[in-house]
Amino acid sequence: MPPARLLTLLPLLLLATGCGSEQSSLHPESPPAHGIATLWWIMLGASTFGLAVIVGILVAAWFRRGSHGRDRPGTLTVIVLGIVTPILVLAALFSYSDIFLIRGTSPPAADAATLKGAVSVHVVGHQFWWEVRYRGNAVTANEIHIPVRTPVVVYVHSDDVIHSFWVPELNRKIDLEPDQVNRVELYADRAGRYRGQCAEFCGLQHAHMGFYVYADPPAVFRRWLARQARPATAAPTALFMSKCSSCHAIRGTAAAAHVGPDLTHVGSRTSLAALTLPNSLVRMEQWLRSPQQVKPGALMPDLNLTTAQVRALARYLESLK
Amino acid sequence: MTIRRLSLLQWIGFLVGGPVWFAEFLAGIGTSQAVCNPASGRWGIPHDAVQIGLMSFAAVCVLVALAASAIVFRETYDVEEQDAPPVGRVHFFAAASIGGNVIFFMIILLTGIATIVDRTCHQA
Amino acid sequence: MTDVAVDPRARERFPLGWWGVAMLVATESALFAMMIGAYFYLRFKNSPWPPAGTPEPKVVVPLVLLGVLILTAWPMWKASHSSSPRRWLLLALLVQSGYFAMEVGDFQDDLHHFTPQQHAYGSLYYTLLGADHGHVALGLLLDVWILWKLLFGMTEYRRRALRGIAFYWYAVIVLTIAVTLTVTSPAFAR
Amino acid sequence: MTTTVADRVERLERQWAERPGVLGWLTTTDHKRVGLLYFWATLVFFGAGGVEALTMRTQLIKPNNSLVGPETFNQLFTVHGMTMIFWFIIPMTTGAFGNYLTPLMVGARDMAFPRMNALSFWIFLASGIFLYIGLFGGFGPDAGWFDYTPLGSRLYDPARNADFYTLSLAFNGMASTLTSANLIVTILKLRAPGMSFNRIPLFCFAMLAASFGLLFALPSLSVDLLFLYLDRNLGFHFFDVAHGGSNFLWQHLFWFFGHPEVYILIVPAFGIATEIIPAFTRRKMLAFPLVAIAELLVVFIGFGVWAHHMFATGLPTTTLVFFAGATSMVVIPSTIQVFAWSMSIFTGTPKFKTPLLFIIGFIVMFVAGGLTGIMFLAIPFDQQMTDTYFVVAHFHYIIFGAAVFPIFGGMYYWFPKVTGKLYFERPGQISFWIIFIGTNLLFFPMHIVGLLGMPRRVYTYPGGLGWTSYNVLESVGGYITGLGILVLFANLVVSYFRGPPSGPDPWHGPTLEWTIPSPPPEYNFATIPTVTSAYANWTDDTPPSLELDVGHKQHVSSLVDGWTAEIADMPHSSPWPILLALALALLFTMLVIDRYMFASIFAVVIALTLLGWHSKEPQEHA
């Protein structure tokens, strides 16, 4: 096993140790995500205090419920606590978050000059999976590899309905619109695997439209990218051509359709059907046997394959590393 | 001051602030959308200049309304909330309008400054 | 029967029916404001506007017709304030129906050149004009109805209805001004 | 001529008597009867929405659950949202509470347009039946209550689901528009003599605010629905990017309605709170003018925040800050009221009866939900948390905590007025505590799963992301809440049959409705009172009042200061409203199965119905 292969296993080892295995906005792993999390903790503190004040007033009212004393004055309290204080607090919050913090979370300017040399990824949303395209001709699905500690601009766009691209531990979410191409910056402090998921309701299988972002050491990333750019290692079987090629592409062969995910290196991926199943020979067979049972409403139809066909196809696809 | 004049001032204080804010609000959004959309972007509308104009005009109007309601409030300071109209009603609207105009002024200020300071048409 | 003196300090004396029409007018104005907003929002995104292959909107005829419609505000006002409203109402009705006939003719003529199914421009153009013509048609029906009622003499109820209908027509005129200026705007600013 | 009180009342009884039996209910125009019809109908829809909610909670109780498939689940959460907003809260607050109480509080004998009032109820009922026929026919709306295009367009929603969405909402919108127009004119023009603007009860200010909100927000939704209907069924291109349309257009138009809508949902609740608090603390509301303006401002500024639902769509910052700024300041009217309420309780002499308990629960829930709402003015935080369960938690704290708690409190508070019976206090307090604990257990963990990254509107979720235990808690909380609501209604039902008589004024309430017998007679007020305060029942002076005892007379006041402007004749019960609603229902049915020929026929039928409606003039009724 070449060392490169070992290095690609690094993320999985990290996964084993538990970090980066979640989708939590409270485990920020990038400057923008840190900024947002910090803001959250500040706002939580202030809110707790505010709630405590109100509850305090009400509890006090309960304790002094016996004492009579109609129409005691209180208007001044209403004006000070109800108008002056909140105006000051809210103006401060607005200025901090929407004038300063937002500069870190919004993407770099669109003009190419600022992007010269920067790594960029194009993500196209489909019901219910993610198409991932790199410069050159590397195309994959449902997993994005980025070099660690390097700003990466992700261009997102939708081919069908509105989706939303969201990796909480790395940055805020951004919608995939049919109307326009949006941008978001990905930056990972630490190498590892980060889970993302579609956040805008997009139809029957909105629940199973996840993806992984792998932050690899730059060298590993470059090797991965180079291998993904290569054409397929094995020519498609006749079975594949008859059953699958009307929707799926295998680069370097006659199968060139782009309805479903590009399968050129499907064997090298860690999940099937946008994180519905982990990728393995058994799972691949299960998926091919009855996609509509595994992921009801997915656009991949049941192909009614015989057990032999399933086994053959699965073995072929898994061989595409 | 005569009750007639007080009443007039009170209506100015009550009716000017809101519509002016909302007009400025829609005009501001319209401007930024016109500047940032592909077709209308070519019309060459100067974003920040327009926004500054809108903000300052609206701010002045709301301050006038605020002053009007403040004056009426002071003139009718000893009137009770539930007193008979017209003076009771005048006092009521004046007190209410002060609160409203302060809020409108703050919105105009915050949004105006932010939209001018931000990088024009930069995707959020 | 207890007769109640109307309080002299009550300066505002619009009947309830008038207020009902006012509510209708308010909500309908919001409706048209939204459509006009949608028109300019899509215009911001599309150029050329109207799209290539779609003829420029007519200008002269609609504006002249608009002027005619505005003039009908006068007979409507007279009808709602005179003791013998029928003559004025009939005059207004004739002019308004003329306007309506011309506009409908125009509408169908446009449909020969481009359809709402070709481009969002067409969708908006026809929806805006259709909605406006619909309101004119409703006004005509109201005219006919009150005219028919008035054949059986004048009552307090009918006098109020007349005021309401007149008010509705003023609103329709204002909405028509807004709509006409919107759909003819491409001719003024490209 | 002089008449004794006795035979004047006797004459009023005769003149205002409704038809007996079912026919009386079908043709009624009495605002109290219409209000009760609204009340019962909305409760049915509340039950339906609740069942949908509990089904979803049961599906989500464990990872990869398969109780219901995605198809059902999507219809469930869509119809749950539509039902609770359009067929429960809006009709319950404006339709039931507004209809029943507003005329009583301003000293009127009916709504300004009684027949229109009945019409709005029958339209509302028909639209609800229409929606649920769709759901049970397997065509329930399934693209979320804001039905984003292109997911809702013909290409991605080829069946009739989205058509049931557009048509049922447009149909329902008519009812809300009619009710709000009616409420506005009633409050502006039908006030008792002497009730100048500074003497209008705060509940009516809230109704005024909600009604104006509906009047100007609903058209935006109607336009949106019209556009979508034309796109889907006649091949128009409003939302078709390929032909110059835009999906942002749908979102802008929807949220221009959708956000004011949220404030429209809670403002009537504010109004209920401002009635219950004085009654149970024996003190007038603090800062009366500020609270009144705050109720109006919440809705007005609410028209300037709509795109804070679109912060993650990639619009330019220079546009978004306008909405963020308005979102920050729309909080102020709410903080004013929160402190006015709590300080009024603090500085008064509170009696912690069930209605006040619900109001206190409401204040706590509203502050909690409001504080998480404030967080969304921070655009980056919004972009992180929008479309997650954090948002679900936020708006359920607002909609259940802030809008529904006062509705429950109001049910207890006005129960004696409507039925003439007292409810049982102890079970009432128990029902409050069960519901309060249940809702917090149901909604609080949603904040946490949201922060842990769980998106909303997923029909299932994988284990191992730390979401499972919280979802279990939420489901349990859901069942507890359901139980509490059952206790509440059981209490009210038993009280209705077994409760001790309440007399006209058990709480010594502040407003006019407590000056008349319970339940109120058809004509509400034997003599029209002259008011000198917003707390008319607390002012012991007995000013001269107005005797209108011949025909259906109604005092009409001048707009601002409430002087007598005229005495109007009110129409009596009429069969036309229900017939017109029926014709409309048939029209919409034809539209949903696109039979345009029949649709136009029913349009003619509607015109004829309207002719019949106006064939008789009010004077002739008397």
Residue ranges of chain B whose pLDDT lies below 50: none
Dihedral over alpha carbons D332, D335, D337, D342 (to 10 degrees): -170
pTM for the model stands at 0.95
Identify all chain D residues contacting A84, using CB atoms and an 8 Å cutoff: none
One-character DSSP codes across D580-591: HHHHHHHHHHHH
CA angle centred on D301, ends D295 and D307, rounded to 5°: 135
Task: Indicate whether A134 pLDDT > 90.
Answer: yes
Chain B residues within an 8 Å CB radius of A83: 99, 102
Q: What is the mean pLDDT of chain A?
A: 89
Nearest CA in chain C to D235: C117
On chain B, the residues whose CB falls within 8 A of the CB of D288 are 81-82, 92
pLDDT of res. A78 = 92
CB contact under 8 A, C117 and D558: no
CA–CA distance, C100 with C104 (Å, rounded to integer): 6
Instruction: Chain A: give the shortest CA distance to residue B117, in Å.
Output: 8
Q: What is the pLDDT of residue C7?
A: 85
Size of interface A-B (CB pairs under 8 A): 27
Which tens digit of pLDDT belongs to each residue from C157-190? 899 999 999 999 999 999 999 999 999 999 886 5
Residue D444, phi then psi, degrees to nearest 5: -65, -45
Report which secondary-structure segment, H or E, holds C165.
helix C156-188
The predicted structure's pLDDT at residue D3? 63
Q: What is the mean pLDDT of chain D?
A: 94
- Dihedral sign of CA atoms D556, D20, D574, D8 in order: negative
- Kindly give the pairing relationship between strand A192-197 and strand A143-147: unpaired
Whether residue D355 is preceded by a cis peptide bond, meaning omega within 30 degrees of 0, is: no
Provide the Cα torsion A6, A11, A12, A17; round to 10°. 120
pLDDT tens, position by position, D15-59: 888 888 899 999 999 999 999 999 999 999 999 999 999 999 999
pLDDT digits (tens, 9 = 90+) for D211-236: 999 999 999 999 999 999 999 999 99
pLDDT, tens digit (0-9, with 9 covering 90-100), for C119-148:
999 999 999 999 999 999 999 999 999 999
* % of chain A exceeding 90 in pLDDT: 81
Mutation target among C11, C43, C44 for the B interface, most CBs of B within 10 A: C44
C1 pLDDT higher than 50: no
- Which chain B residue has its CA at the smallest distance from C9's CA? B86
Query: How far apart are the CA of D199 and the nearest CA of chain B, in angstroms?
Result: 6
User: Kind of pairing, strands A271-272 and A182-186?
Assistant: unpaired
Option in A74, A183, A204 nearest D70 (CB): A204
Contacts of C46 in chain B (CB under 8 A): 39
Residues of A in contact with D337 (CB under 8 A): 82
Residue A259, token pair as written in the block? 């309805």
Q: Do A106 and B124 touch (CB under 8 A)?
A: yes
In this structure, are residues D438 and D404 in contact, taking their beta carbons and an 8 Å threshold?
no
User: Sorting pLDDT into bands at 50, 70 and 90, what band is A114?
Assistant: low
Most B-contacting residue of A75, A80, A83, A171 (CB-CB within 10 A), to test interface:
A83
Identify all chain D residues contacting A79, using CB atoms and an 8 Å cutoff.
287, 290
A219 and chain B in contact, CB less than 8 A: no
The pLDDT score that the predictor gives to residue D404 is 97
- Residue D615 three-state SS: coil
Tell me the sheet residues that pair with A186.
A152
Span D322-338, pLDDT tens digits: 999 999 999 999 999 99
Tell me: pLDDT of C66 over 60: yes
Distance of alpha carbon A204 from the chain centroid: 19
A97 pLDDT band (50/70/90 cuts)? very high
Residue A16 has pLDDT above 80, yes or no: no
D602 vs C52: CA distance, rounded Å: 40
Q: Average pLDDT, stretch D82-100?
A: 97
Mean pLDDT for the stretch of residues C97-111: 96
Residues of B with CB under 8 A from a CB of A: 99, 102-103, 106, 110, 113-114, 117-119, 122-124
Give all strands (DSSP E) within A159-273, no chain letters.
163-165, 174-176, 182-186, 192-197, 210-216, 271-272
Confidence class for position D192, pLDDT limits 50, 70, 90: very high
